[in-house]
């Protein structure tokens, strides 16, 4: 029983010590795109909605004044990795591995 208590204490310590270990998947994606989680359904200016956070209870908002613009804002469209781009564009896509293309 003492061993189990020590293992649980270590597990709880790791959840607090390692950043991102205990966060939901959608929150990790939002933070990965330099986004912020807001309680409201709409984002305050200069932020734009970019998905959800906290198991879809919050809105992921990204700063539109930074270099992290969405793909559609830059005139492109998001495609899965299997599709080849003729010309790739800089911009964020809602799906982590997708890429932003101006021409497919």
Under a CB-based contact definition with an 8 Å cutoff, are residues 71 and 78 in contact? yes
One domain for residues 62 and 74 = no
Number of compact structural domains in the chain: 2
The two three-digit tokens of residue 26, written as one number: 């959608």
Of the segments 6-10, 31-35, 94-98, which one has the largest average pLDDT value?
A: 31-35
Buried b (16+ CB within 10 A) or exposed e, 20-51: eeebbebbebbbebebbbbeeeebeeebbebb
Tens-digit pLDDT profile for residues 38-92: 888 888 888 888 888 988 889 998 877 766 667 777 778 888 888 888 888 777 7
Output the pLDDT for position 51: 87
Quick one: DSSP state of residue 92?
B
Q: Is residue 50, in this structure, part of any structural domain at all?
A: yes
Q: Is residue 13, in this structure, part of any structural domain at all?
A: no
Output the pLDDT for position 10: 54
What are the two backbone dihedrals, phi and then psi, of residue 82, each rounded to the nearest 5 degrees? -70, -25
Domain CATH code at residue 86? 2.20.20
Average pLDDT on 96-103 reads 80
One domain for residues 39 and 57 = yes
- Alpha-carbon torsion angle 51, 54, 58, 62, nearest 10: -50
Q: Is residue 6, in this structure, part of any structural domain at all?
A: no
One domain for residues 59 and 35 = yes
Output the pLDDT for position 68: 62
Structural domain containing residue 75 = 69-103
One domain for residues 32 and 57 = yes
One domain for residues 46 and 64 = yes
Distance of CA 58 to the CA centre of its chain: 12
0.75 exceeded by pTM:
no
Q: How far apart are CA 58 and CA 41, in angstroms?
A: 7
């Amino acid at each position: 029983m003492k061993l189990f208590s020590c293992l649980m204490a270590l597990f709880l310590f790791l959840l607090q010590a390692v950043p991102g270990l205990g966060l939901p998947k959608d929150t990790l994606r939002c933070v990965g795109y330099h986004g912020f989680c807001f309680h409201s359904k709409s984002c305050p200016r200069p932020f734009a909605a970019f998905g959800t956070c906290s198991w879809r209870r919050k809105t992921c908002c990204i700063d539109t004044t930074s270099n992290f613009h969405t793909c559609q804002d830059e005139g492109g469209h998001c495609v899965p990795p299997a599709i080849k781009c003729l010309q790739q564009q800089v911009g964020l896509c809602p799906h982590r591995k997708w890429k932003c293309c101006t021409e497919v």
